[in-house]
Chains A and B, each alone.
Chain A
Amino acid sequence: NAGVTQTPKFRVLKTGQSMTLLCAQDMNHEYMYWYRQDPGMGLRLIHYSVGEGTTAKGEVPDGYNVSRLKKQNFLLGLESAAPSQTSVYFCASSGRDSGANVLTFGAGSRLTVL
């Protein structure tokens, strides 16, 4: 049982480049989330989704876009990367039946923007 899988695990970008982080969950969870983790600041919510085809902004959405075309996948895109987006990104999911606010996290994706 894989849980939540994130790809890639590491990526280095130059300023202005674009990329997409992929999150996949195999628990049939309704809700999915993208957080960023920065030193001394805990985790901050970027975007989230309450179901297939729906997305919403979190606390720090600027510079990011997301899509949830399939229930099991949640993509995070950076159209024009900036050094301020250097961070560790975590995807998470939760289910209505197992507890909507009990999140299962992926192992993280470390992004460096030069």
Chain B
Amino acid sequence: GDSVTQMEGPVTLSEEAFLTINCTYTATGYPSLFWYVQYPGEGLQLLLKATKADDKGSNKGFEATYRKETTSFHLEKGSVQVSDSAVYFCALSINAGGTSYGKLTFGQGTILTVHP
């Protein structure tokens, strides 16, 4: 079946450090890939997405590139802030039989803590 594997956390960084959170996937079809973020006490929010190979999703200084050859979608940010402290989830969605609704398969989540 389809699955998403994220790097083990938690990740602790100092403000302005470089961030990478690894994400790899296995899928029977051709997935769309997502990063969602969950701030403390809140639901998940879409951070960025990519729908085909070599696409780069970006938002709020975060970037991720859809790499079909390595089945990866690693999240990066050049300079993190304290406000980026949250749980980050990598996810995929596959259109099954032409049906366009989106059931997502999530990774286990990576907790990021950024210190001043």
Report B-chain residues with C-beta under 8 Å of the C-beta of A22.
Answer: none
Instruction: Determine, out of B12-20, B75-83, B96-104, the stretch whose residues face the partner at the interface.
Output: B96-104
Least distance between A2 CB and chain B CB atoms (Å): 12
Task: Give the interface SS of chain A, mostly helix, strand, loop or mixed.
Answer: strand
Q: Are B101 and A102 in contact (CB under 8 A)?
A: no
Contact, CB under 8 Å: A45 / B103:
yes
How many of A's residues come within 8 Å of B, CB to CB?
A: 27
- Smallest CB-CB separation from A88: which chain B residue? B43
Q: Given A105-B43, A105-B44, check contact A96 B100 (CB 8 Å).
A: yes
Q: Whole-angstrom distance from the CB of B21 to the nearest CB of chain A?
A: 13
CB <8 Å contact, A48 and B101: yes
Q: Are A42 and B108 in contact, with the CB atoms below 8 A?
A: yes
- Are B107 and A42 in touch, CB under 8 angstroms? yes
Chain B residue at smallest Cβ distance from A58: B103
Complex contact A31–B43 (CB within 8 A): no
Bitwise, A74-114 to B at CB < 8 A (1) or not (0) is 00000000000000001010101001111101111000000
B35 on the interface (CB 8 Å rule)? Answer: no
Give the A-binding residues of B (Cβ under 8 A): 4, 32, 34, 41-46, 49, 89, 93, 99-104, 106-109
- For the complex of A and B, 6 pairs with smallest distance between CB atoms: A101-B102, A105-B43, A101-B93, A42-B106, A100-B102, A43-B106
